[in-house]
Structure 1
C-alpha cells in the first residue's frame, strides 16, 4: 500500500474476554547503506540537518497508534524515525485500516482495554525480530488522537514496558469541561449497555478531512475506505468506551516514564467551514487537552505548535518542520540520553 520500504504483518490477539481480534503491524525498512533509495535526514531547522546519532544496532524502536476512523499512512513520519536510527512500526488496530473486516463495524470497540492484547502482541513481535543473542529494542510508544488516549491507558496498565510516551493531539477529554463528559456518559449509559452498536446520529463534519486529503484541499493521499471523509458511524458502545477512558485519565495515570504531548496552538470548531481550520485543530479543544495532559505522569513536556492541524505531522510543511524539530529536541533529551528499558519486552512472546 505504501510502496517500497514498507511491510505489513497481520496477526490475531485474544483479549481478556477470550475474543481473538485481527490487527496489522506495519514496519518501515529503509534501504541499507549504499542502496539506491533516498537518504533520509532529520529536519531540525530551515534546511535538512544531520540525523540523530543512532544507538548501537538500532537498539531503539517506535510503535505508532493511529486515531479513530484512521490508519497508518504517513511515510514521512516513518522516515523521520528510521532516518534517526530507530526501527519504526505502526499498528492498524482491529476494525481499522488494514485490519478492517466486512463482518465487523468500522472503528468499533466496546472497551479501550480490548486493544491491549494487540498492542502487547506488537511489542512481542518487535522483540522477536531482534537478532539472535541481542536484547529486544527499547520501544517508545506514540499515539495520535484516540490512539493517544489508548496509548496512555495501555502504558498505565503495563508499567515498565514502553520506555517513553509521545502523544500527538491525544483525545484526553471532551470539549468544554469534565462536566460535559460526565453528563454525556450518564445520558449514554443505558443505550451503551442495551444496544452498544446503535449508531448515534450526529451532524457530519468533514472539515478536517478537507484540510488533509489530496482529494480535497490537502496534500496527503488517503484511502477513503480506511479514512472515510465523514468518519465511521459513531456508536453508543464506542463513545461510552472513550468516555470511560477519559474518566480514567482524569483521575491521574501517574506514569513514571517521560511523556511528550504535541498539540496545535489553537482550535477552530463549528458547523460551517472557516479558513482558520487550515491552521488549527478542527477536532479537539486544545486548551482542555493541554490542562488534562499535565496529569498524565511525573515528567510531562507540552509543546504547542502554532499553525498545526489536529495531526501536527500533517500540517503545512513549515509547521510540521517545526513539529519535527521540537520532537527531535525532546528525543535527544529523553530518549537518546536515557538508558534503554528492555527486560519486560523480552519476555513477551509474539502471538
Structure 2
C-alpha cells in the first residue's frame, strides 16, 4: 500500500493521507483523506464507498459512523477540507474561503485518492460506486458540487444540510448586499455573533455529550465567522434559490425539531440548535427529482452524534436507503454486523 498513508490521530484502524492543493494568499494548502480500514475485515471491495464531508468549524471524528457503514458493506472515507481539522496549517484563518467552489479541488483530490486506495487494497482498477455524505455547510458545498458535476457520484446523503438561511427573502437579500460590499473590502473581517457554546455542550464528553472533541479543531463557540466566508455561503443559498438539479437520488436526514435560543434548556439535547429545520426541508425538497427526507425525533444537528437510539435510527435509515441506490456487490460484508448493536427502525417522515 502507498507508504504516504499513515496512522490517523483516531488510531488504528484509521489511516490518513495528506493531499497537496494549490496555495492561496496564506501559503500552502492541503486536504486530508481519512480511511477506515479494520484489520481482517471481509470488506466491500471496490464496489461501493462513502466519502464523508464535515461542516463548518468541524472535522471528521465520527468513528461510530465509520464502523457502522463498514459493517454494512461500505468502504468508508472522510475528507477534512483545507483549513479545517487535520488540514489546518499554522498561520491559516480557520475555515476561511471566499467561494464554496474552492472546495472543488479538495473533492477532486479526495475522490482520486479514494479510488487509488481501493485499487491498491483490492488489486483491481474497477471504479467504485461512490455516495457523497455531507453535514451542514458541507452539505451545501456537496449539493452545489453534485449539481455542477452530474454523473460523478451514485447518490447524495445530506445530514442536516445548511441549504437556506432563516428569515424572509427580503432580509436575505439585504444581508447579501451588505456582506458583498464588506467581503470585497475586508474578506477576513470578523462578524460578531453571540458566543453561546450550546452545541459543543450537547456533543462534548466533557459536558453533556458523548464524544471526545478536539477544542482546537472544534472550538466551544466555533471558529470566528468572517465576512468573505458568510458571503460565500449566502451566494450558495442564492444559487439553490434560483434552482439547481442534482441528477442522483438525495437523502436528507435531520431532526424533527429545532430549539434555537439564547438560554440553555434540556430540549437542546434532542433538537437541532444550529439550523431551523423548516427552511432546510423546504429547500431540500427542490434539489432534484428523487429526494427523500427523514426527520428524526430527538436528533441533534449532526444526527449521527445524537443519543444512541436516535443515531442508530439515523444509520438504519441511511443504510437502508443507500442499499437501494447502490446494492451491495459480492464483496460486501454482513448487512447487520455492527458492533453498536441492532439499529432500530427510524421514526418520522
What stretches of structure 1 of length at least 5 have no aligned partner? Answer: 35-53, 339-351
| TM-score scaled by length of structure 2 | 0.87
Cross-structure match for 2:240 = 249
**Structure 2 residue 81 is the aligned partner of structure 1 residue 78:** no
Shift of 1:16: 11
1:252–1:297: 8 Å Cα contact kept in structure 2? Answer: no
**Structure 2 residue 105 is the aligned partner of structure 1 residue 114:** no
1:97–1:226: 8 Å Cα contact kept in structure 2? Answer: yes
26, 29, 32: which one pairs with 2:34?
26
Matches within 5 A, 1:286-305: 286-305=277-296
| TM-score scaled by length of structure 1 | 0.87
SS at 1:327's partner residue?
helix
Matches within 5 A, 1:8-23: 8-14=16-22, 21-23=29-31
**Structure 2 residue 76 is the aligned partner of structure 1 residue 88:** yes
**CA deviation string 1:254-298 (max 9, x = no partner):** 111000000100001111112111100000000110000011111
2:73–2:328: 8 Å Cα contact kept in structure 1? Answer: no
175, 178, 185: which one pairs with 1:184?
175
Could you say if the C-alpha distance between residues 251 and 16 of structure 1 is closer, same or farther in structure 2, counting changes exceeding 3 Å? farther
1:185–1:240: 8 Å Cα contact kept in structure 2? Answer: yes
**Distance across 2 between alignment mates of 1:279 and 1:247:** 30
**CA deviation string 1:29-88 (max 9, x = no partner):** 012149xxxxxxxxxxxxxxxxxxx76x34111100000000000100111111111111
Over the residues paired in the alignment, what is the CA RMSD in angstroms? 1.9
SS at 1:2's partner residue?
coil
Matches within 5 A, 1:1-351: 1-14=9-22, 21-33=29-41, 57-129=45-117, 130=119, 131-336=122-327
SS at 1:220's partner residue?
coil
**Distance across 1 between alignment mates of 2:24 and 2:171:** 30
**CA deviation string 1:204-247 (max 9, x = no partner):** 12111100001111000000001000101010000000000111
Could you say if the C-alpha distance between residues 33 and 127 of structure 1 is closer, same or farther in structure 2, counting changes exceeding 3 Å? closer
Name the stretch that deviates more: 318-327 or 301-310. 318-327
**Distance across 1 between alignment mates of 2:173 and 2:48:** 39
Shift of 1:337: 7.4
2:69–2:319: 8 Å Cα contact kept in structure 1? Answer: no
**Distance across 2 between alignment mates of 1:336 and 1:73:** 27
Name the stretch that deviates more: 179-188 or 156-165. 179-188
2:253–2:303: 8 Å Cα contact kept in structure 1? Answer: yes
SS at 2:326's partner residue?
helix
